[in-house]
């Protein structure tokens, strides 16, 4: 498995298809995936990545707060890493209606459906999502609001094409596509779209996505994100990825902009804040879960980073 796939896998996404949509021109809808759309697959996710697979025809996508339109054609997938509110349309300048108002539940527990439009050129798409209980992830925050992927240009195009065809055939036959397959293909679509975007970045640009592309630093990031509570040192991480300590430190700092242990500290504290917001675990339990041997050490690190100890920070969040 490559580092990017490992890193995405460490986020523990759940994926699914929730809508089968048929439009005929002219048409225009506003769209944003809700927690209710995800309910058949998981409890309300903290983070949602939306995507649309265009099976037939074409559409224009515009962000509600953005400028211009992105054309998406049959065989292309468009992903919205932060699930921004957006408009899908057959042409620019049309009056939009809410997609939620058009959704009809499918008989016998299949996918919900939309059939809408003026009878002209047809567009068929299926809409899916990746959801995670993780509130914040550095990968998501570094991506643009929209990613477009052409299936035939993807590294794993054969697997993606076969999976999308399987899902489309299951839908046309009135069956709900296997959630396990769709979860896997949803994750793969996201990995391919991120990989395609990362390939467009300048070679001399530092930052998180450059680090993911590097076989050593990307592997290290995957380890730290999937196993943050292990007693990592610079030496043990370097050994895991197959570099000397000094070579690894230099490489990590050059690409990420932080020393590896500093990065790990910030990641642990970010995870701790999420757990504090949830309000269920004790401070000691949270300290252990994110890799601190003692509550005292955790309190000290948290206060140094955020200006107050975790218990007071949690109370302030609850009061707000």
Mean pLDDT of 141-168: 70
* pLDDT mean across residues, the chain: 84
What DSSP state is assigned to residue 104?
Answer: B
pLDDT of 156 > 60? The answer is no
Distances (CA, A) of 93 to 61, 87, 88: 12, 11, 11
Q: How far apart are the first and last CA of the chain?
A: 43
pLDDT band for position 68 (50/70/90)? confident
The pLDDT of residue 45 is 78
pLDDT of residue 114: 95
Position 177 pLDDT exceeds 80:
no
Task: Report the alpha-carbon angle 135-136-137, nearest 5.
Answer: 130
- Min mean pLDDT across 159-163, 192-196, 261-265, 301-305 is at 159-163
* Res. 16: pLDDT tops 90: no
Residue 180 has pLDDT above 60, yes or no: yes
Beta strands across the sheet bearing 47-56? 112-117, 14-24, 122-132, 47-56, 76-80, 147-150
Does the domain at residues 3-199 carry the CATH identifier 1.10.1660.10? no
Angstrom distance (rounded) from CA 244 to CA 97? 58
pTM: 0.74
Residue intervals of the chain classified under CATH 1.10.10.60 are 209-319
* Nearest in space to 191 (alpha carbons), one of 79, 268, 97, 71: 79
Q: Where does 209-319 sit in CATH, by number?
A: 1.10.10.60
Spell out the alpha helix ranges (H) of the chain.
3-10, 35-38, 138-142, 157-172, 179-199, 208-213, 215-226, 234-241, 245-256, 260-278, 283-289, 295-306, 310-319
Are the beta carbons of 85 and 32 closer than 8 angstroms? yes
Reported as a pLDDT band with limits 50, 70 and 90, residue 173 is low
pLDDT greater than 60 at residue 154:
no
Ranges of CATH 2.60.120.10 domains, the chain: 3-199
Task: Please confirm whether the linkage preceding 185 is cis (ω < 30° from 0).
Answer: no
Note the pLDDT of residue 9: 65
């Amino acid at each position: 498995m490559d580092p990017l796939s490992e890193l995405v896998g460490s986020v523990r996404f759940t994926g699914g298809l929730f809508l089968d949509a048929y439009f005929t021109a002219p048409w225009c809808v506003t769209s944003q995936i809700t927690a209710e759309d995800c309910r058949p697959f998981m409890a309300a996710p903290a983070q949602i990545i939306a995507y649309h697979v265009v099976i037939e025809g074409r559409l224009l996508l515009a962000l509600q707060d953005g400028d211009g339109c992105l054309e998406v054609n049959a065989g292309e997938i468009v992903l919205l890493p932060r699930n921004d509110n957006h408009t899908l349309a057959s042409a620019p300048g049309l009056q939009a209606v809410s997609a939620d108002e058009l959704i009809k539940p499918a008989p016998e527990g299949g996918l919900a459906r939309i059939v809408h439009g003026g009878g002209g050129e047809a567009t068929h798409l299926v809409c899916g999502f990746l959801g995670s209980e993780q509130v914040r992830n550095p990968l998501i925050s570094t991506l643009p609001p929209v990613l477009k992927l052409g299936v035939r240009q993807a590294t794993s195009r054969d697997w993606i094409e076969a999976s999308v065809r399987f899902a489309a055939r299951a839908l046309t036959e009135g069956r709900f596509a296997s959630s396990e397959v769709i979860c896997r293909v949803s994750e793969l679509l996201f990995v391919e779209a991120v990989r395609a975007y990362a390939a467009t970045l300048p070679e001399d640009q530092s930052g998180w996505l450059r680090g993911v592309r590097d076989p050593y630093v990307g592997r290290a990031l995957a380890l730290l994100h999937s196993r943050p509570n292990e007693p990592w040192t610079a030496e043990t991480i370097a050994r895991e990825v197959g570099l000397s300590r000094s070579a690894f430190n230099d490489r990590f700092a050059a690409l990420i902009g932080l020393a590896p242990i500093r990065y790990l500290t910030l990641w642990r504290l970010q995870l701790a804040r999420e757990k504090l917001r949830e309000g269920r675990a004790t401070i000691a339990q949270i300290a252990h879960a994110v890799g601190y041997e003692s509550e005292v050490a955790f309190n000290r690190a948290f206060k140094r980073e955020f200006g107050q100890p975790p218990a007071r920070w949690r109370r302030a969040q609850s009061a707000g």
